[in-house]
Structure 1
Amino acid sequence: MSRSLRLLTIFRVVGRYRLDLLLDHSNLPPLPRTAFKLAPWHLHPVPDMPRGERLRRALEELGPVFVKFGQMLSTRRDLLPEDIADELARLQDAVPPFPGEQAVAIIEKSLGQPVADLFASFDPEPMASASVAQVHAATLASGESVVVKVLRPDIEPVIRQDLALMFILARLVERFLPFGRRLRPVEVVKDYELVVLDELDLGREAANASQLRRNFEDSPLVYVPRVYWDYSAHNVFTMERIKGIPVTDVKTLKELDVDLKLLAERGVEIFFTQVLRDSFFHADMHPGNIFVDASNPADPTYIAVDCAIIGSLSDSDQYYLARNLLAIFHRDYREVAQLHVECGWVPADTRVQDFEAAMRAVCEPVFERPISEISFGQLLVYLFRTASRFDMEVQPSLVLLQKTLLNIEGLGRQLYPDLNLWDTAQPFLEQWMAERYSPQSMLQKLQRQAPSWLEQLPRVPDLVLHQLEHGTTERNPARGSRPSRPRTLSGRSAAGLAALAAAVVVARPQALDWLAEVPLASWALVAAGLALLWPRRS
């Protein structure tokens, strides 16, 4: 019953703001087109405001869960028209606070002690309130100033109910709208579900903050507040209280004579350091989560809070992302197309020359503008939007990356309008690529992998014999048994033996002394064995 009432509320708000006009009814199938005609929405006058503003106000009226969904949706610029995406980005996650007495009760139940025993002082009036949690100022017995983040009571059932309704609406859109499949609404709601449910675990956020702090320990780039684990739990998170200037307060920063150019460039460096060096990046770097330590105006430092949403890339995604960005910098569209196919971002049967032509059509008009006017984040959005026409499967990690890059670039240009992200990012990318594939880096990787390879070494002879015995035939349902490719399997075995031998040398350099004493005839037998195992071209 509650779900039905909530659904009726949603339809009433849709009618009030005439969101039905966002759809082209003439392209709808007969059943939904008839339903739209019979719905009482047309009785409402059309509000005198743009379509994006109508959508934003509707989401704000539907409550915090829909507000957060709109915020997340604003990052999917590969799916939305620009006017709607820009308006959704204005959504403010400001929610009336819940009573301080409830916050005290939650803290005491979670931490198992009275607030008076836990803290020397605790302010029941919240400092700030958002859709999922609110924060209170407090002081520890040791005298350290902290903030205590408390999860809203009974927020999870509300979120899960609204998520269930979102899935219903997404399936209707996907089924009945002509462009529904292209928008992938169910996938978008699934991504949002992962994000918002992760935010319900403050212990997870505390762990993210602790890891991010360790990654930038003693770094002049960014400071992450300390986590107090003895005062944190699943729904309570206590952290160091910081003093900083909101990054959007450009007027104050200018009055303090802060080096805004350096601050903007450091924002770009922080982004690429997190993505490429650590593969662990703060994916919610909107202005409300970023402050500036201006105690030394010539050497300003960022302060990052709210680490609930963290992104990560696999080694292969890191590699392909860096190569893609460098190829875009060099305007090498053939390499961009080949990399998209090679890394599996678009289907393997995609015609590279067609994809290359599409990339060129997107990029060339952009590159004709002055370099300082080019939005790199927006260009990435255009590329993803173009790739979606070739059935590109956008990974959630890449969506978070795109969102973060847009935030960072927008923030940098707000601080320093002449920020040239290209000149700032290109040397960093080139240096990262050079370091990643330097001999020293490769040797370190071999040393890290050597223990695992050595553990598998005793099994190698059995695996080689098994492949040689069972790799001679391969059953094909259409043709019956036919010869397989034992040479390929044997070649892999030979390569594996060679790699394991290298691992032994890397892990135990003294093995070289033993190898030097092996008779020449033995080396000849090893070479002959590898030659027999190695695959030959037909």
Structure 2
Amino acid sequence: MIGKRMRHIGRYHEIAVSLLRHGFGMIVDELGFSSFLSLPPRWRAEQGKKEGKTVGERLRLVLEELGPTFVKLGQIASTRPDLIPAPIISELEKLQDQVPPFPFADVRRRVETELGGSLETLFRSFDETPLAAASLGQVHRAVLPSGQAVAVKVQRPHIAARVETDLEILQDLAVLAERRLDWAATYQLSEIVDELARSLRQELDYTVEARHAERFAQQFADDSSVYVPKVFWDYTTKTVLTMEYVEGMKLGELERLKANGHSLKTIAERLAEATFKQMFEHGFFHGDPHPGNVFVLDDGTLSFIDFGLMGRLRPHVKHHLSSLIIALMRQNTDGVLGAIYGLGIVPDGVDEGKLRDDLDELREKYYGVPLGEISLGEAVEDLLSVAFR
């Protein structure tokens, strides 16, 4: 482990300095890195950095500063209210991939190497300007020889090696933190980091995303309100993913949707129905359904894209979540209490009397709300914030 730290000492230094800069110097000191990395006194780096900023805000700034691996891990963590406290999730949800596109020469090299031919023979056309660029890859519109329009996701050069280095460092830091910090041991930090790392490693394999898309499509095979773009396997590898290109309006383009005659109420109902079907019928759900990843087609059909991050619910979790929603709607505090104990989101030593009082207060928020209008994520966040008060 010492050898690994010395090999990546520059990156350890960058991480420690960023933590210092944003008010986490005590953690750096307690991990023993101030002396190991010959860092300046903590108070100089921390001066004034905590004022007016919450822990979540400062953590978000650290992740943004440290680059793609950390931003992506933060985005994955923001979808896990079962692992991360609600106030921190609200900040992590603000994380965005703010990265420039990589050169088209690298795109060409990757696609031609992976697919075994020149762009000119593989595609009728291939747009040089990407539709979108993110931390792990970017997407280009292209047309197959058949005339089929497709979206081609191409992985960034060398990103897998950089991500792996960062993940090794984070897993090392998590184990070290559990030995030295009580809170890290209590929350089993290394297990959280390991789970997030597994998700990120999966996102680097585009064949996994392709299989996710096909499984998701099967779930909605008999539902005309949801459409999933087709995967083109002959044009897909671990670092190149080719899927059908869909024309539509992004879910977040509210004014444009209204101007084109779409009912926002109908769209919201369809999205809620699709969400509940994913969660409670199949237990396999889209892990990143932000407005940029859901399109509304001309006929009002919803089309999901980007299946790199998916979630799964085990049967007992589905059972307790459904019980939770029903109990909230019925204002049944005992039912809510039983469900959250079943989900394992009540910390040890909680004052059950106070918890019950807080739940009585929370249930008023959901009284009389139709099932289709309940945000499952928000409900779980509300309950977590109550449980950890």
Q: Normalization by structure 1: what TM-score?
A: 0.62
Aligned equivalents of 1:170, 1:146: Cα separation in 2? 41
Distance 1:137 1:49, change over 3 A: farther
Kept in 2, the 8 Å contact 1:148–1:238? The answer is yes
Structure 1 residue corresponding to 2:8, chosen from 3, 17, 20? 3
* SS, match of residue 366 in structure 1: helix
Larger Rg: 1
Kept in 2, the 8 Å contact 1:32–1:176? The answer is no
Distance 1:380 1:121, change over 3 A: same
Amino acid aligned to 1:365 = E
Structure 2 match to 1:43? 44
Kept in 1, the 8 Å contact 2:129–2:140? The answer is yes
Amino acid aligned to 1:367 = R
The CA deviation at 1:308 is: 1.2
Residue 281 (structure 2) pairs with residue 286 (structure 1): no
Residue 271 (structure 2) pairs with residue 267 (structure 1): yes
Aligned equivalents of 1:87, 1:141: Cα separation in 2? 45
Structure 1 match to 2:19? 14
Structure 2 match to 1:533? none
Q: Which has the higher contact order (CA 8 A, sep 6+)?
A: 2
Aligned equivalents of 1:8, 1:232: Cα separation in 2? 38
The CA deviation at 1:338 is: 4.7
Distance 1:319 1:178, change over 3 A: closer
The CA deviation at 1:182 is: 3.4
* SS, match of residue 263 in structure 1: helix
Amino acid aligned to 1:42 = W
Kept in 1, the 8 Å contact 2:345–2:384? The answer is no
Aligned length: 376
Distance 1:78 1:192, change over 3 A: closer
Task: Name the stretch that deviates more: 358-367 or 305-314.
Answer: 358-367
The CA deviation at 1:272 is: 1.0
Residues 329-376 of structure 1: per-residue CA shift (max 9 Å, x gap): 3233434555566x68489xx99xx89746523321112347469865
Aligned equivalents of 2:117, 2:35: Cα separation in 1? 60
The CA deviation at 1:80 is: 5.5
Task: Name the stretch that deviates more: 261-270 or 246-255.
Answer: 246-255
Amino acid aligned to 1:43 = R
Structure 2 residue corresponding to 1:185, chosen from 146, 165, 189? 189
Residues 200-230 of structure 1: per-residue CA shift (max 9 Å, x gap): 1111111111222232235232211111111
Aligned equivalents of 2:212, 2:80: Cα separation in 1? 24
Aligned equivalents of 1:8, 1:112: Cα separation in 2? 41
Structure 1's unaligned 5+ residue stretches are 390-538
Superposition pairs for residues 375-394 of structure 1, below 5 Å? Answer: 377-384=377-384
Residue 91 (structure 2) pairs with residue 95 (structure 1): no
Structure 1 match to 2:77? 73
Superposition pairs for residues 504-523 of structure 1, below 5 Å? Answer: none
The CA deviation at 1:284 is: 1.6
* SS, match of residue 233 in structure 1: coil
Aligned equivalents of 2:86, 2:218: Cα separation in 1? 38
Structure 2 match to 1:366? 362
Distance 1:234 1:181, change over 3 A: same
Kept in 2, the 8 Å contact 1:366–1:374? The answer is no
Structure 2 match to 1:146? 150
Distance 1:357 1:43, change over 3 A: closer
Amino acid aligned to 2:361 = P
Structure 2 match to 1:304? 304
The CA deviation at 1:179 is: 2.4
* SS, match of residue 281 in structure 1: strand
Distance 1:60 1:169, change over 3 A: same
CA RMSD in angstroms comes to: 3.4
Structure 1 match to 2:215? 211
Residues 441-484 of structure 1: per-residue CA shift (max 9 Å, x gap): xxxxxxxxxxxxxxxxxxxxxxxxxxxxxxxxxxxxxxxxxxxx
Distance 1:74 1:318, change over 3 A: closer
Aligned equivalents of 1:184, 1:286: Cα separation in 2? 29
The CA deviation at 1:79 is: 6.1
Aligned equivalents of 2:53, 2:143: Cα separation in 1? 47
Distance 1:198 1:358, change over 3 A: farther
Distance 1:4 1:277, change over 3 A: same
More helix by share: 1
Structure 2's unaligned 5+ residue stretches are 1-5
Residues 118-165 of structure 1: per-residue CA shift (max 9 Å, x gap): 111112332211111111111111111111111222222211110111
Residues 79-100 of structure 1: per-residue CA shift (max 9 Å, x gap): 6565543222111013222221
Amino acid aligned to 1:280 = F
The CA deviation at 1:199 is: 0.4
Structure 2 residue corresponding to 1:224, chosen from 221, 228, 245? 228
The CA deviation at 1:65 is: 0.4
Structure 1 match to 2:165? 161
Aligned equivalents of 1:386, 1:182: Cα separation in 2? 19
Distance 1:317 1:221, change over 3 A: same
Identical-residue share of aligned pairs (%)? 35
Distance 1:288 1:265, change over 3 A: same
Structure 1 match to 2:113? 109
Task: Name the stretch that deviates more: 163-172 or 363-372.
Answer: 363-372
Kept in 1, the 8 Å contact 2:28–2:34? The answer is no
* SS, match of residue 8 in structure 2: helix
* SS, match of residue 179 in structure 1: helix
Amino acid aligned to 1:302 = L
Amino acid aligned to 1:46 = G
Distance 1:376 1:224, change over 3 A: closer
Kept in 2, the 8 Å contact 1:173–1:180? The answer is yes
* SS, match of residue 368 in structure 1: helix
Structure 2 match to 1:129? 133
Superposition pairs for residues 452-491 of structure 1, below 5 Å? Answer: none
Kept in 2, the 8 Å contact 1:248–1:287? The answer is yes
Aligned equivalents of 1:255, 1:185: Cα separation in 2? 48
Superposition pairs for residues 334-483 of structure 1, below 5 Å? Answer: 334-338=334-338, 345=344, 357=353, 360-369=356-365, 371=367, 377-384=377-384
Residues 277-321 of structure 1: per-residue CA shift (max 9 Å, x gap): 22321122122211111x24xxx2211000112222333433333
Kept in 2, the 8 Å contact 1:14–1:20? The answer is yes
